């Protein structure tokens, strides 16, 4: 498959083609974002939509989507270089029953970041003021609260061509309970994905030496020895990630999730991939060039990656591996599954807020925003008294959207780099499924809450993707593509808004999650 440059992810698919959270690059994992599940043990699919690298084209895009209350837009920077070759969005893969494993090639290496020591979590002390988002190329230094971390959307990831609408955060990984240069490494350009659950880092980006020090996760329920290493296949519409499950202290900003299970993508000790993982129709996204990120930070509505796997082995999911070349589908207890780091924080652990500025009609070369931990736990994360809409979702973030009289399953997904929906009246770019209307279209769709009949009409705009891509920028608020079965509110929805994602079963401000609000 071609490199996913515009948005590599799509969310991880399970036994059904339901979208739920990454992708990744939009992994969706089952977004490219990557896995998902609910803590009640239901077995629903996870997956996401993710287009490929755009084609350079000429043209002038028109108006941008109208923004909700949030940071104001900054002036547009001068044009950057034009992106390279083109590709079509990936479709969601639906896993089938497990089958015998087959050999797979080892992933290519990426550069290793420098090591550093993470900051300590401050807990509930200090409310602080959240740093204001700044969308210029040279943002001013904001006041940083202890429950925030910066988000950057840019095209500067090493060894990868221009990436579009990819929100990144930096993460520090440490051997559990350890600190210091030889025990920790900071990894930037980790895709921030509300459409998936769990932290997944590419081994080469983390560094082989540190990766080897992270303790292997063991203890699959159906492992007769209880000592075999657990590995995972995370399926996305764009492909899959494969690697061992390890434990690490994960720090984002000043918040630390201690000793949580993570996926080490492309682990050099696990280069053999089970065939029911590798045969899902997409390529291995086990290196930076194919993933479009150094890893994924899945912060969806669930605390654990795939609760259904706690009850029975699932196809193309978890495995226990007595040897790196001999793996069996595994049932994995919740506390050993890839975890949402936010749920594991000591405080501010009931959800997140993504705050991004609006962008002008022609996009921006880069955007700086803010990830806020907690909802209603301190002054800088209060839910508005009258939010535009609180969308109650299922445990995987699903609700419905009505567009032009058609009601379909829907997700709000920062790991998808466009707005994806069905509209046969909108022309497409030649050779792919990005929308390319001759003039910018002002549209709207109705979000409908899973319960309570709450709904709201949300305006948005769709511009000519070829004209946008020709500008060579990294952030566009009016980019969209075709999806036959779902309405995916990808990153363009987040521009100009504060978007709240509340964890399932947890009180978040005035309401219990799961929900999405803005």
Q: Which residues pair with 371 in a beta bridge?
A: 149, 354
pLDDT tens digit sequence for 474-498? 999 999 999 989 999 999 999 999 9
pLDDT at 71: 38
The pLDDT assigned to 143 comes to 61
In a domain, 106, yes or no: no
491 with 366: CB under 8 angstroms? no
DSSP category for residue 343: G
Q: What is the mean pLDDT of each run of 10 residues along the chain (518 residues)?
A: 31 30 33 40 31 34 33 37 34 29 32 38 34 37 81 89 92 95 96 96 96 97 97 88 97 98 94 89 88 96 95 95 94 97 98 98 97 97 92 93 96 96 96 95 96 91 97 97 95 98 96 95
Alpha-carbon distances of 171 from 110, 119, 190, 250, 453, rounded to whole Å: 17, 11, 7, 7, 38
- Considering Cα of 445, then 450, then 456, then 459, what sign does the dihedral take? negative
pLDDT tens per residue, range 207-250: 999 999 999 999 999 999 999 999 999 987 778 999 999 999 99
445: tokens are 């769709």
**Backbone region of residue 42 per phi and psi (left: phi > 0; alpha: psi in -120 to 50; beta: other values):** beta
Is residue 15 in some structural domain?
no
Domain that holds residue 145: 23-95+112-517
In whole angstroms, how far apart are CA 477 and each of 298, 345, 367?
Answer: 22, 32, 11
Query: pTM of this prediction?
Result: 0.78
Q: Give domain status of residue 479, yes or no.
A: yes
The residue with tokens 């990868």 is: 160
For the chain, what is the domain count? Answer: 1
Residue 342 CA to residue 118 CA, distance in Å, equals 16
In a domain, 499, yes or no: yes
Task: Report how far residue 357's alpha carbon sits from residue 377's, in angstroms, rounded to the nearest whole number.
Answer: 23
Q: Which two tokens stand for residue 170?
A: 């930096």
14 falls within a domain: no
**CATH code of the domain containing 213:** 2.40.70.10
The answer as to whether 107 is a domain residue is no
């Amino acid at each position: 498959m071609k490199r996913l440059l515009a948005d590599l992810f799509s969310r991880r698919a399970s036994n059904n083609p339901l979208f739920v959270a990454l992708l990744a690059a939009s992994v969706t994992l089952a977004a490219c974002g990557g896995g998902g599940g609910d803590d009640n043990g239901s077995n629903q699919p996870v997956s996401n939509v993710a287009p490929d690298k755009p084609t350079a084209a000429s043209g002038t895009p028109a108006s941008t989507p109208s923004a909700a209350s949030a940071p104001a837009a900054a002036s547009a920077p001068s044009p950057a270089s034009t992106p390279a070759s083109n590709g079509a969005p990936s479709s969601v893969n639906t896993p089938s029953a497990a089958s015998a494993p087959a050999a797979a090639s080892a992933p290519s290496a990426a550069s290793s970041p420098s090591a550093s020591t993470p900051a300590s979590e401050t807990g509930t002390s200090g409310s602080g003021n959240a740093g204001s988002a700044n969308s210029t190329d040279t943002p001013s230094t904001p006041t940083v609260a202890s429950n925030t971390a910066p988000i950057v959307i840019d095209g500067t990831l090493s060894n990868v061509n221009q990436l579009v609408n990819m929100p990144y955060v930096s993460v520090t990984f440490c051997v559990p309970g350890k600190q210091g240069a030889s025990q920790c490494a900071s990894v930037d350009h980790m895709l921030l994905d509300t459409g998936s659950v769990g932290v997944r880092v590419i081994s080469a980006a983390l560094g082989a030496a540190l990766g080897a020090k992270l303790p292997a996760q063991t203890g699959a329920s159906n492992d007769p020895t209880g000592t075999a290493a657990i590995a995972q296949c995370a399926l996305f519409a764009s492909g899959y990630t494969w690697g061992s499950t390890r434990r690490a202290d994960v720090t984002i900003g000043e918040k630390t999730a201690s000793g949580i299970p993570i996926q080490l993508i492309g682990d050099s000790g696990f280069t053999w991939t089970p065939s029911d993982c590798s045969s899902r129709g997409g390529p291995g996204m086990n290196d930076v060039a194919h993933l479009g990120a150094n890893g994924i930070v899945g912060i969806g509505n669930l605390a654990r990656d795939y609760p259904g796997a706690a009850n029975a082995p699932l196809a193309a999911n978890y495995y226990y591996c007595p040897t790196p070349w001999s793996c069996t589908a595994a049932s994995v207890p919740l506390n050993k599954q890839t975890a949402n780091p936010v749920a594991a924080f000591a405080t501010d652990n009931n959800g997140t807020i993504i705050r991004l500025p609006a962008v002008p009609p022609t996009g921006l070369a880069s955007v700086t925003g803010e990830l806020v931990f907690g909802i209603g736990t301190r002054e800088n994360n209060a839910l508005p008294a009258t939010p535009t809409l609180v969308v109650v979702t299922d445990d995987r973030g699903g609700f419905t959207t009505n567009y032009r009289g058609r009601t379909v399953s829907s997700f709000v997904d920062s790991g998808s780099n466009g707005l994806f929906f069905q509209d046969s009246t909108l022309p497409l770019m030649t050779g792919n499924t990005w929308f390319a209307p001759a003039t910018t279209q002002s549209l709207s769709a109705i979000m409908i809450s899973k319960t309570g009949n709450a709904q709201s009409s949300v305006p948005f705009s769709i511009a000519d993707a070829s004209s946008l891509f020709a500008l060579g920028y990294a952030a566009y608020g009016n980019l969209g593509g075709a999806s036959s079965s779902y309405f995916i509110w990808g990153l363009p929805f987040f521009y100009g808004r504060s978007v709240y994602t509340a964890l399932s079963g947890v009180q978040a401000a005035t309401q219990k999650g799961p929900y999405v609000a803005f």
